[in-house]
Amino acid sequence: MDMQLAPAPLVTDPRRRLILFLFLMTAMFMATLDNQIVSTALPTIVGEFGHLERFGWIGSAYLLSLSAVMPLYGKLGDLFGRKYVMMTAIMIFTVGSAVCGLAVSMNTLIAARVLQGLGGGGIMVSIFAVNADLFEPRERARYQSYSSLVLMASGAIGPVLGGTMSDLFGWRSIFLVNVPIGFIVLTGLAFMLPYRKPHRRPKIDYAGALLLAMTTTSIVLATDSSELFGALISPQSIGILAFGVICAVTWVFTERRAPEPIVPLQLFRNSTFSLLLVISIMGGAIAIGMVNYLALFLQTTTGLSPSAAGLLFILLTGGLVCGSLTAGRIISKTGRYKPFAIASLTCSATAFALMSQIHAGTPIVFIGAIMMLHGIGIGLAQQVPVIGVQNAAPARDVGAATGSVTLSRMGGASIAISIYGAIIASELGKVGVSIPGVADIEQLTPKMMAALPEASRQAVADTYAAAFSPLFMTSCAIALIGLAAAIMLKPVQLPRAGETTRPQPATAEAAE
């Protein structure tokens, strides 16, 4: 592999670069907020449309379509230039938001969430790829920490904002607010982001993109089969899993022959890339995949109202802010990211081990402290996989590598949401005792729960606390798998401006 200088930044004027970065962060906030904002508004939506059994699908539909198109957008950006690819993604997302806000039934809303995800996936990938064009590697670490901050702040603010907006303006407002923001960001990027024309002729690997999307979808549907088909192992789920395996094998053969593969297979020869993908999958499962369930846990076990439960997420954000900014600054100075991956997953594994021991009478202060520890954990390594793969990949494949890591994160979240849902449904299904005033515990919304007599409310809280214990133990196991991958990472150091795009050991390893 030839050694090459890091390409010059796309924009040299610092002021213009900062304004562009703010536009990018607004787009990212909009795309990520939309996954989290529905969590506390879900009971209100269910109250209007019914179908509580489709609780998970309002979140899953968005994450699933988002995950499916991510690698394609990364590749399109490499081939056609990032500017117009990103603007198209924002346009699709804005239209999807408008349709969500005007939905007339649960099915319409789920379909509109799929459309939103098709745009959201492009926004997520394009932002990280544009950042790679705007900033040199060391500086990128600092700015990526701000990106991570926005990414997770949206996760923490979302539940509060969703509860408050649905109380004040109705649940449709949480989607319709994206329409004016989308137009502002589109206008800003159209005038301020330069177009960098790629040096190669576009050859899109449509077959690879379709097969990868079908593989991801099959995995999520298979993990969600207990909700879809009534049992985790059923003829339908086995059929879907078999179809997913066939798609995955066919995808590998297709990528080997494709002139411009969606995910270049030579990236996997570098162990750093493969390990960072594992860390990214596990990180998505314990960070993004857990948000809706933490909101549900707080509302059912502590008896807090949607907006009060949302406020507890501010502690999670506080931890996240501390972790992300500290890590970003130190990585920017030292160029080393491995210690942060280890520290991050250790914090999260500890937090979930403690959370599995929580019962209905646990003081709120203790729960808040655990959420803050989890926040610190997420923040410490939020930007590590993206920075790591952008440094490990050749310059021509930065978009594809970024797309792969973001896909793995969202894919991990989608699969985790399905697994967590199956655990909760299975645990609640074991409840044999009937609680006075509760016909079906799964149909219980926070508003209905608040109206119950004290004894019944306590019984519901105990039931949910027992159901969530195995879920938190599962999250702890997921964090430990990520920790093992983090320990196996090579101690790579990021280059400074004007140095080669990756250190000598990584180059030697990729050339093997």
The reported pLDDT for the residue numbered 5 is 45
The reported pLDDT for the residue numbered 512 is 29
The reported pLDDT for the residue numbered 149 is 65
The reported pLDDT for the residue numbered 238 is 85
Render pLDDT for 453-490 as a digit per residue (tens, 0 to 9): 667 767 777 777 888 888 899 999 999 999 998 898 88
Question: Contact 402/129 with Cβ under 8 angstroms?
Answer: yes
Phi, psi dihedrals of residue 171, rounded to the nearest 5°? -65, -25
Q: How confident is the model at residue 211 (pLDDT cuts 50, 70, 90)?
A: confident
The reported pLDDT for the residue numbered 416 is 82
Render pLDDT for 96-108 as a digit per residue (tens, 0 to 9): 989 988 888 777 8
Amino acid, single-letter form, for residue 82: R
Residues 6+ away with beta carbon under 8 Å from 221: 228, 237, 240
Give the closest residue to 465 by CA, choosing from 352, 301, 305, 354. Answer: 301
The reported pLDDT for the residue numbered 58 is 74
pTM over 0.75: no
419, exposed or middle or buried, with CB in 10 Å at 0-12, 13-18, 19+? buried
Amino acid, single-letter form, for residue 451: A
Render pLDDT for 223-237 as a digit per residue (tens, 0 to 9): 766 666 666 677 877
Position with higher pLDDT, 421 vs 203: 421
Q: Cα–Cα distance between 386 and 381 in angstroms, integer?
A: 10
Question: Contact 311/440 with Cβ under 8 angstroms?
Answer: no
Average pLDDT over residues 395-418: 75
Other C-beta atoms within 10 Å of 432: how many? 5
396, exposed or middle or buried, with CB in 10 Å at 0-12, 13-18, 19+? middle
Q: Cα–Cα distance between 69 and 445 in angstroms, integer?
A: 34
* Residue 500, beta-bridge partner list: 5
Q: Cα–Cα distance between 408 and 128 in angstroms, integer?
A: 14
- 211, 215, 313, 375, 400 from 259: Cα distances, Å: 16, 21, 46, 42, 14
DSSP helix/strand/coil, 27: helix
Residue 122 token pair: 């492009």
The reported pLDDT for the residue numbered 500 is 47
DSSP state of 496: P
Indicate whether 257 pLDDT > 90: no
Phi, psi dihedrals of residue 493, rounded to the nearest 5°? -115, 130
Render pLDDT for 341-395 as a digit per residue (tens, 0 to 9): 898 899 999 999 998 888 777 788 888 889 889 888 888 887 788 788 877 777 7
To the nearest 10°, the Cα dihedral for 34, 37, 41, 46? Answer: 30
Other C-beta atoms within 10 Å of 440: how many? 9
Which residue's entry shows tokens 């119950």? 452
- 103, 200, 310 from 204: Cα distances, Å: 34, 12, 43
Question: Contact 60/183 with Cβ under 8 angstroms?
Answer: no
Q: Cα–Cα distance between 194 and 114 in angstroms, integer?
A: 30
Position with higher pLDDT, 334 vs 1: 334
Residue 465 token pair: 């606390």
Mean pLDDT across the chain? 75
Q: Cα–Cα distance between 384 and 380 in angstroms, integer?
A: 8
Give the closest residue to 137 by CA, choosing from 283, 334, 325. Answer: 334
The reported pLDDT for the residue numbered 316 is 81
